[in-house]
Amino acid sequence: MNTGRDLVADIAAGLAENGLILRGGFNFGAQDNPPPGPSGAPARAVLLVGQAGAAPWPHYTRWRESRPADRANPLDTWSREVIGEVAKKAGARAVGPNDKPFLPFQQWAMRAEGLKPSPLGILMHPRYGLWHAYRGALLFGHEISFPTANSVVHLCDACIDKPCLKACPVDAYSKDSFAYQACLAHVRGPHGRPCRTMGCLDRNACPYGTAYRYPADVQAFHMAAFAR
């Protein structure tokens, strides 16, 4: 059974065809309560799939144009199709971040990539800043040989001014919470146009990873999904 570098390289190549990338992974330990793997028995390893910047967007929009217009969650459907195909070839079970009950994607990502949360709740990446996300995960019935993870700089630790906590018109984000309802009311309301058309002002205020910032139309798409 291929459990090492070739397996991971084959999966990465399959994902790259759709602008997706592997975001690391780990073997579950005795203390974990893993979700079922491909056979239904608890999974032994997980590989996270995601995006840096908006790289999957052109692939997704091409797919979208060929599908009926009334799909409720088209990005989830696309992710499921594309990642499901790669999972099938690799003998894995694919799961998504919006599958219910929610799986702990951010906890998995912290473990897989050594990332930590920004004050906005979004994990901070040393290269991509706040401009990355998870589109799925592959669950395996066997362990995988992972390289030893390098330690990762958490940029927020050295960011004294924290501009991400100063741009929101309703101060929805504070050091330890997110006022979901206040944000939603503002985004939906008469003064929410900047958030609706250009994305969250707090997220856009972070000075890191700007080369990966999602274009305005992509941010508007995510904001519309958030505020519907």
Positions 186 through 205 that interact with ligand B12 (CB under 6 A): 200, 203
Q: Which residue has the tokens 């799939």?
A: 49
* Proportion of the chain in helix, strand, coil states, percent, rounded to 5: 40, 15, 45
The residue behind tokens 């592997």 is: 22
Tell me which of ligand SF4, ligand B12, none is bound by residue 107, counting a contact when its beta carbon lies within the kind-specific cut-off of 5 to 8 angstroms: ligand B12
Instruction: Please give the structure tokens belonging to residue 188.
Output: 């939906």
- 103 vs 124 by CB, closer to ligand SF4: 124
The residues near 135 (Cβ < 8 Å, ≥ 6 apart) are: 20, 49, 50, 51, 56, 79, 83, 96, 97
Write the binding mask 100 to 119 for ligand B12: x where contact by CB under 6 A, - elsewhere: --xxxxxx------------
For ligand B12, give the closer residue by CB, 68 or 102: 102
Choose, by CB under 6 A, the member of 156, 198, 220, 225 that binds ligand SF4.
Answer: 156
Is residue 95 a contact point for ligand B12 (CB under 6 A)?
no
Q: With binding defined as CB under 6 A, does residue 226 bind ligand B12?
A: yes
Question: Is there binding between residue 218 and ligand B12 (CB under 6 A)?
Answer: no
DSSP state of 36: B
- Which residue reads 């900047």 in tokens? 194
Q: Quick check: 91 and 38 in contact, CB under 8 A?
A: yes
Establish how many alpha carbons lie within 13 A of residue 110's alpha carbon, considering only the half-sphere containing its beta carbon: 10
Which span (37-45, 82-90, 101-109, 179-187) binds ligand SF4, by CB under 6 A?
A: 179-187
Binding site for ligand B12 (CB under 6 A): 97-98, 102-107, 121-123, 132-134, 178, 180, 183, 200, 203, 222, 226
